[in-house]
Amino acid sequence: MLDNSSKTINLHETIAMRNLFTLCCLLLTTVAFAQLPTKLDPRELKSGPDFKAAEPNVLTAVNFLMGIPVTKQIGDRQQCATYLLAWMSGTPDFSFSIDETHAELTKDDPNLLAVLLASMVKEALANPKQDFTQIGFKVNYMKRFLAYCADEKNGVNANKKLQKLLKAFQKDELEKALK
């Protein structure tokens, strides 16, 4: 009789452990897949105060784009990229420009352009007092972009120009490579 009750307890403990394991797996799966928590509507960006008020949403878009692989959640990625472009082109507080380097780095994968823009915005918002025309700004946002590209989990297929910059980044020679 003592054996039967201990078997019953062990069976209940096993079932409870399985349920706990299943619950943990579900929670981890939910956390592992980034979700866009808010609707980003570029039509709401009409005047200067709108752009300043939108900065938390801009950071949400930036963190979303830089937090998931380049080929995942394409619809949400496009929504974030559209919102970022609208914000970047209208904000009175910052001035952004895209140059030939950006085009060369992202020509084979247009999804990378969204990550590059997100890197620019993240750097601008993190250090708003810097001179955006100086090489230091470009080096800083390119470091963010290249760190994303270097992370294998993001699934970036680097073209020759990107490979060259990744090597310079790894050797801590990025500023020299960008000049």
> What is the rounded CA–CA span in Å between residue 58 and residue 124?
11
Tell whether 92 and 172 lie within a shared domain: yes
pTM over 0.85: no
pLDDT tens for 20-78 read 444 333 333 333 345 555 678 888 999 989 999 999 999 999 999 999 999 898 889 99
Burial level of 63, CB count in 10 A (0-12/13-18/19+)? middle
**129 vs 162, residue with greater confidence:** 162
| pLDDT at site 35 | 55
| pLDDT at site 39 | 79
Tell whether 110 and 146 lie within a shared domain: yes
Tell whether 43 and 17 lie within a shared domain: no
Q: How many domains does the chain have?
A: 2
| Chain centroid, CA 67 distance in Å | 4
Tell whether 47 and 97 lie within a shared domain: yes
Reported residue count of the chain is 179
pLDDT tens for 122-157 read 999 998 887 777 888 999 999 999 999 999 999 999
CB 141 within 8 A of CB 122: yes
Tell whether 25 and 42 lie within a shared domain: no
| pLDDT at site 74 | 86
pLDDT tens for 68-122 read 999 898 889 999 999 999 999 999 999 898 888 899 999 888 889 999 999 999 9
Tell whether 73 and 101 lie within a shared domain: yes
Tell whether 86 and 113 lie within a shared domain: yes
Tell whether 5 and 65 lie within a shared domain: no
**15 vs 95, residue with greater confidence:** 95
| pLDDT at site 30 | 33
Tell whether 100 and 150 lie within a shared domain: yes
Tell whether 54 and 137 lie within a shared domain: yes
Residue 171 is given by DSSP the state T
Helix residue ranges per DSSP H, 33-54: 48-53
Tell whether 10 and 56 lie within a shared domain: no
Joined together, the tokens standing for residue 21 give 């394991």
Structural domain including 69 reads: 37-178
Joined together, the tokens standing for residue 153 give 């989990």
pLDDT band at residue 4 using 50, 70 and 90 as cut-offs: low
Tell whether 86 and 7 lie within a shared domain: no
